[in-house]
């Protein structure tokens, strides 16, 4: 299953999530420059359990190096597809978690999830001399938080069936629940580490992500976080909106809601409206005039219900203004 996008919009630009993705990309290019020294580079900055449990190995590293590796390993990757898959998952799920926690708490949350995932791996592979690298454990923590925050969100998922792409919207709690179950199955089948994948880091990251979300939700936003939100707040709602209009059998008209921001209400905007009808999904361009107010209604002629008499009603979209 390959996630393509989720249906839960955010109110703020994910500056921390985007920065984390940028740092991972920069570090990946630094890795590429290592050439013949790449194995040494990964051993120094990756997470090697034996460095902490075997005194003969630990003596070659300073305390600073040992502590730094608990963080640096989550910014290293084993190849192009490894970093692409991780960063894509972080792009899909991370913005919503940052939107809820705020940029400062989210940055700390991400790092703690990564460290907790690494420690989970170490506890079950205490004497392993194989480096563990990758952001998957930290991202698993983000996915665990998303699981609690937006269980009913839909994840547009690509499922290849005999080389034929099949797209389906899956509820987030189903998608992430299946993902978590697969981690357990793989961990049991590989005794924690198989094919270079630290399954228990994923499991630990997911569980600690849910735990840290609960703990962080108890902490109030700092003044700095609130000030940052003033700059990161989005001025517009998503251009594409899915509207499921309602009506009655005796009424030829249909009724729905369209969401805009105060900025869009003042300046005017255009939205691409998706209206599902049976197995069809029709798209319409809707112009929202400048100066519109909460509760005003837009009338789209001819988009209502067809009656037996041959008459076709209209679609009425009520304006909802969200901060």
What are the pLDDT digits (tens) for 224-247? Answer: 777 777 778 788 887 778 788 887
Query: 155 to each of 11, 56, 110, 317, how far by Cα in Å?
Result: 19, 48, 22, 26
CATH number of 240-321: 2.60.260.20
CATH 1.20.1540.10 fits 2-232, yes or no: yes
Residue predicted with more confidence, 186 or 206: 206
**Angle at the Cα of 235 (from 231 to 238), degrees rounded to 5?**
130
Strand spans (E) along 162-234: 164-171, 193-194, 197-198
**pLDDT score at 195:** 46
Q: Residue 250: is its pLDDT beyond 80?
A: no
Give the chain's mean pLDDT.
88
**pLDDT score at 213:** 96
Quick check: 63 and 36 in contact, CB under 8 A? no
**Angle at the Cα of 156 (from 25 to 109), degrees rounded to 5?**
45
Q: Residue 191: is its pLDDT beyond 70?
A: no
Identify the band that residue 139 occupies on the pLDDT scale cut at 50, 70 and 90. Answer: very high
Chain centroid to Cα 155, Å, comes to: 10
Non-local CB neighbours of 274 within 8 Å, separated by 6+ positions: 240, 241, 242, 243, 281, 282, 283
Identify the band that residue 277 occupies on the pLDDT scale cut at 50, 70 and 90. Answer: low
Residue predicted with more confidence, 50 or 161: 50
Domains 2-232 and 240-321 share a fold: no
- pLDDT tens-digit profile of 207-220? 999 999 999 988 77
**pLDDT score at 96:** 95
Identify the band that residue 279 occupies on the pLDDT scale cut at 50, 70 and 90. Answer: very low
Annotated domain spans of the chain: 2-232, 240-321
Q: Residue 194: is its pLDDT beyond 60?
A: no
Give mean pLDDT, residues 54-78. 94
Give mean pLDDT, residues 110-121. 95
Residue predicted with more confidence, 282 or 151: 151
User: What is the value of pTM for the model shown?
Assistant: 0.81
């Amino acid at each position: 299953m390959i996630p393509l996008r989720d249906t839960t919009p955010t109110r703020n630009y994910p500056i921390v999530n985007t920065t984390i993705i940028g740092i991972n990309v920069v570090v990946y290019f630094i890795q590429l420059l290592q050439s013949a020294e790449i194995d040494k580079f990964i051993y120094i900055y990756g997470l090697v359990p034996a460095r902490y449990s075997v005194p003969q190995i630990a003596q070659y590293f300073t305390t600073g190096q040992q502590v730094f590796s608990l963080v640096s390993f989550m910014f290293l990757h084993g190849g192009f597809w490894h970093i692409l898959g991780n960063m894509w998952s972080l792009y899909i799920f991370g913005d919503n978690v940052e939107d809820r926690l705020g940029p400062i708490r989210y940055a700390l949350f991400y790092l703690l999830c990564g460290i907790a995932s690494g420690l989970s791996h170490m506890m079950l592979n205490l004497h392993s001399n194989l480096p563990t690298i990758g952001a998957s454990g930290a991202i698993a923590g983000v996915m665990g938080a998303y699981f609690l925050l937006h269980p009913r969100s839909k994840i547009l998922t690509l499922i290849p069936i005999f080389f034929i792409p099949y797209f389906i919207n899956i509820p987030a709690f189903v998608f992430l629940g299946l993902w978590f179950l697969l981690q357990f199955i793989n961990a049991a089948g590989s005794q924690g580490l198989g094919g270079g994948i630290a399954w228990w880091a994923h499991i630990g990251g997911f569980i600690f992500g849910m735990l840290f979300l609960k703990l962080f939700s108890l902490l109030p936003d700092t003044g700095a976080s609130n000030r940052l939100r003033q700059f990161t707040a989005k001025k517009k709602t998503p251009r594409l909106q899915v509207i499921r209009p309602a009506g009655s059998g005796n009424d030829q008209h249909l009724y729905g809601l369209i969401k805009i921001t105060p900025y869009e209400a003042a300046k005017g905007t255009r939205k691409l409206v998706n209206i599902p009808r049976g197995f069809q999904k029709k798209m319409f361009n809707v112009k929202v005039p400048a100066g519109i107010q909460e509760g005003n209604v837009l009338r789209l002629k001819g988009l209502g219900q067809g009656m037996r008499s041959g008459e076709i009603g209209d679609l009425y979209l009520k304006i909802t203004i969200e901060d």
